[in-house]
A and B are shown apart, each in its own frame.
Chain A
Amino acid sequence: MAAVRGWARPPPMRPARLVSSPQFRRGWWTWVAMRAGLAAGWLSRRLGLGAGVIIRGRVTLALCPSALSRLAAGRRVVLVSGTNGKTTTSHLLAAALRTAGPVAHNATGANMGDGAVAALAADPDAPVAVLEVDELHLAAVATAVDPAVVVLLNLSRDQLDRGSEVRAVAAALAGALSAHPDTVTVANADDPMVVWAATQSPRASTVWVSTGGRWNGDATSCPRCGTTLHGNGDRWRCRCGLARPAPHWVASEAAAVRDRHVIPVGLRLPGQFNLGNAVTAMAAAELMGVDPRRAAAAMSLLPDVAGRYAVVTYRERELRLLLAKNPAGWAEMLGVLDEARPLLVVVNAREADGRDTSWLWDVPFEEIAGRPVVAAGEHCADVGVRLTYAGVEHATVADPLAALALLPTGVVDVVANYTAFHQLRRRLTAAGGESTR
């Protein structure tokens, strides 16, 4: 391994002819590593092992550990991070920025260093990159790519077994932002954790967005001093002085308000939280030189986000596929569900989901009573017990496709957490489910 690491250094001299090509400017070894990664990804797809995105990044990084900074060199990079809405916001932002030129983007949601490498290697010539980054990996990725803009959406508890407590995540993000004083931050003014993280660096320049989120269960105590915060949403302050900054952008009623200018935003994606994501993306797009109205027009065409919000027909049922993986995500999703519509809840507890299923008890499942409900997934029993105590009549079947048979035909809402969602999508595709949108 040591020998391979030694090769990873680029040769000091390069022929002048090759310098003009961006691929060779990054060093021939990076190019070899990138090609090897692409080959591994192709092989993985051909063997049916997966989408091949992560293996592509991992092979490239194994051969050339500095691949991320080399592939990002010379590009303007936007990093999108936070607990919920990373994938959606990065898709919206990439759609907006594509109106101005090619954009490299980790569209599949592979949001650690390997996913970023794979995305940059797939579009080596794109001058702009939009990278969704896991909040625990933001510091490392930011060091490598030196981003022009960092988007911070929200911070709430998610996978407590894997990550750490919300305040510690916020502190790590604050450290990452302090290390890049020239980076502009687009941050959620309604989320005290985000505000605390974004205001740590004295030289920070921040564009504040009011997204109007529904969840504040993780920020009732002040992230700075630990006492109770007063107020929530668009009006909160602490006696230690931490308070909601005046927003530059506000998401309200199917529109973005920027300095009293109202820009209509017509999305095909449902919910207030997606409007918040879109307005955040518009703020970032403006910083990258794209007119907000043009950004809004491009974003309005997006039908679904890596399968989320997609509608799939399977055995006389029209499935609306939704992803929610923590209490904050569920709080937003409950506003999107139709009261009269049958509901399938699919929950796994693998490593990427978080092993602990306790979070189910912070979801107000009482609200879904009165419609046909089936609990499915590898942890369907946990969901079933939770539903019983919430007074929700339901059936419990581990296999989500078998569970569908218990629900009436017609339109069905399906809410799954991370690995359950991807597993279900793969199985629906394999079983001949048709995407109708």
Chain B
Amino acid sequence: MSAAPELVIGVLLPDLLGTYSDAGNAVVLAQRARWRGIDAGILCVTADTSPPAGCDLYLLGGGEDAAQLFAIEWLARHRTLRRALSERASTFAVCAGLQILGTTLTDVQGRCHGGLGLLDLTTAPRRRRAVGEVITRCVLPGVGLLTGFENHRGATTLGIGVRPLGQVLSGVGNGVPPASRRPAGRTWPVGPSSGGGIEGAVTDRVVATYLHGPVLARNPALADYLLSRVTGQGFPDPDPPEVPDLPGLRRGYLSPTPPRRARFRSHLKPW
């Protein structure tokens, strides 16, 4: 067997949390690391294996409701992995991944399930599914605008232990309505990070978002931020020449017209 790679990216439960193609994030991270001369490997950890606790970065993707509950149970069962997630490794979680790392998760039938508790946030169902393009301004240094596609029914309220990943410029995001649109006389969860046009959640170990795309394929600066956090190296060049189509892709998604149209059309659909 050859020497172990310098950077190991563990994709957790791609068989259950692979509905929205978020495993592409691992491909992006590994390739960008290799372009910088870092030997990176991807480890797919399916539900029928016992998970390794030694990965540098763990990825969780989006999945269907039944799979999500199974994933919580699976992660809670594997204690060494859980300890690695909370004490040592970095985690990048998308959509269902964000929800299962929270403290509680209420399903569509109104049943409340406990999450993994790695992130101080709770998720309850929205009345209508949030589907469409999203643009946010990321709070992480040097990352800038984020583009992605959201497709979820969660309204996520952040506690004081986490910061939002970004400010929503278009789209829904965490799904608690912004202050200006809240009906008068009703109390909403209060506090600096309790929704109001925000998206995702960040702690010093975890970056979580609702954005698909895959989000790291559309936002190389976020991929490089994660890589530099895991490897401790800085990457000054956010857009290396290796991906010639990226500027065109970002121009297309960050120009204001197409996402708005997509959002409007999604409201017209009866299902």
A interface residues (Cβ-Cβ under 8 A, vs B): 136, 157, 160-168, 217-218, 220-221, 225-228, 230, 327, 351, 355-362, 375, 379-386, 388-390, 396
Q: Is the CB of B245 within 8 A of A355?
A: no
A393 to chain B, nearest CB (A): 11
For B217, the chain A residues whose CB sits under 8 A away are 361, 385-386, 389
Q: A355-B149, A388-B245 are in contact. Are A228 and B132 (CB under 8 A)?
A: no
How far apart are the CA atoms of A167 and B24 in the complex, in Å? 22
A398 to chain B, nearest CB (A): 9
How far apart are the CA atoms of A161 and B48 in the complex, in Å? 30
For B271, the chain A residues whose CB sits under 8 A away are 136, 162-164
For B203, the chain A residues whose CB sits under 8 A away are none
For B133, the chain A residues whose CB sits under 8 A away are 355
Where chain B touches its partner, the secondary structure class is mixed
B254 to chain A, nearest CB (A): 12
C-beta contact mask, B209-231 vs A, less than 8 Å → 1, else 0? 00011100110000000000000
Q: Is the CB of B19 within 8 A of A165?
A: yes
How far apart are the CA atoms of A166 and B66 in the complex, in Å? 12
Closest residue of chain B to A229 (Cβ to Cβ) is B15
**8 A Cβ contacts from B28-58 to A:** 28, 31, 46-48
For A218, the chain B residues whose CB sits under 8 A away are 19
C-beta contact mask, B132-151 vs A, less than 8 Å → 1, else 0? 11000000000000000101
Q: A221-B70, A358-B213 are in contact. Are A385 and B20 (CB under 8 A)?
A: no
B131 to chain A, nearest CB (A): 5
B80 at the interface (CB under 8 A from A): no
B249 at the interface (CB under 8 A from A): yes
Q: Is the CB of B70 within 8 A of A381?
A: no
For A382, the chain B residues whose CB sits under 8 A away are 245, 249
For B246, the chain A residues whose CB sits under 8 A away are 381, 385
Q: Is the CB of A358 within 8 A of B24?
A: yes
How far apart are the CA atoms of A380 and B64 in the complex, in Å? 29
Q: A163-B271, A389-B31 are in contact. Are A358 and B20 (CB under 8 A)?
A: yes
Closest residue of chain B to A218 (Cβ to Cβ) is B19
**8 A Cβ contacts from B66-104 to A:** 66-67, 69-70
B24 to chain A, nearest CB (A): 3
Q: Is the CB of A388 within 8 A of B244?
A: yes
B265 at the interface (CB under 8 A from A): yes
Subset of 30 A-B contacts with CB under 8 Å:
A161-B151, A161-B266, A162-B271, A163-B271, A220-B16, A220-B46, A221-B70, A226-B67, A226-B70, A227-B70, A228-B15, A228-B48, A355-B132, A355-B133, A358-B22, A358-B24, A358-B212, A359-B21, A360-B21, A361-B23, A361-B27, A361-B217, A375-B245, A384-B248, A385-B218, A386-B24, A388-B244, A389-B24, A389-B243, A390-B27
Q: A226-B66, A358-B212, A361-B27 are in contact. Are A221 and B15 (CB under 8 A)?
A: yes
Closest residue of chain B to A222 (Cβ to Cβ) is B66
B204 at the interface (CB under 8 A from A): no
Q: Is the CB of A162 within 8 A of B248?
A: no
